[in-house]
């Protein structure tokens, strides 16, 4: 049985990178669409991207 190099993605679907969404904290699993931008992806969805301010300043719109 040939050995694969460590770190090589050899068709094993068991391993996919994941990280928490910066807004909702939901675990995002790597998607092929994010292959080139994975390091920049911070939000699980467009909705969270738009709500990114809500994560840092929750309910501070009273003084407006």
**Residue 41 is a binding residue for Zn ion (CB under 5 A):** no
Q: Which two tokens stand for residue 2?
A: 């040939």
Contact 30, 57 (CB under 8 A): no
Alpha-carbon gap, residue 52 to 48, rounded angstroms: 6
Least distance CB 5 / Zn ion (angstroms):
34
Q: In this structure, what is the dihedral angle of CA atoms 36, 17, 30, 41, given to the nearest 10 degrees? A: -60
Which of 4, 5, 10, 23 binds Zn ion (CB under 5 A)? It is 23
Binding mask 1-20 for Zn ion (x = CB under 5 A): --------------------
Which of 42, 44, 55, 61 binds Zn ion (CB under 5 A)? It is 44
């Amino acid at each position: 049985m040939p050995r694969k190099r460590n770190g090589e993605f050899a068709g094993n679907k068991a391993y996919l990178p994941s990280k928490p969404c910066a807004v909702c904290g939901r675990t995002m699993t790597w998607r092929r669409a994010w292959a080139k931008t994975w390091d920049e992806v911070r939000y699980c969805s467009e909705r969270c991207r738009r709500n990114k301010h809500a994560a840092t300043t929750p309910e501070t719109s009273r003084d407006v």
